[in-house]
Amino acid sequence: MTTAAPPLNNTQFPANVTTKNQEQSLYQSSGAIVAAIVVGVIIIFTVVLLILKTYNRHMRVKRELEPKSTKPTIPPALGHKSSTTQPPPATFIPVDIHMQSR
């Protein structure tokens, strides 16, 4: 007596192939999403950099063009001679405490 072989299930083989195709498309789409995020971050950094450069240039030009008389007058340093006569600064002479009187 011969036994009949069980019939082959042809639907299982294509389902396995479609699962691999879906998995491959998921990997490709996730790679594309990561690439899009990286490109987006680069574009955002570029825009921020350009805005900061423009702001820096604008502020530098504004500082260079503003009148110099708005700055408060700074008194001259001690080493510089000024046109007005000032009394000489008082000199401090420390007294030696351990000095013996004779």
Mean pLDDT in residue range 36-58: 97
Mean pLDDT in residue range 13-30: 76
Residues 6+ apart with CB under 8 A from 82: 76
Least confident of 27-36, 68-77, 84-93: 68-77
pLDDT for the residue 43: 98
Predicted TM-score (pTM) of this structure: 0.44
Are 57 and 63 in contact by the 8 Å Cβ rule? The answer is no
Q: CA of 25: how far to CAs of 16, 36, 41, in Å?
A: 14, 16, 24
Q: What is the mean pLDDT of the chain?
A: 75
**pLDDT (tens digit, 9 = 90+) per residue, 28-44?**
889 999 999 999 999 99
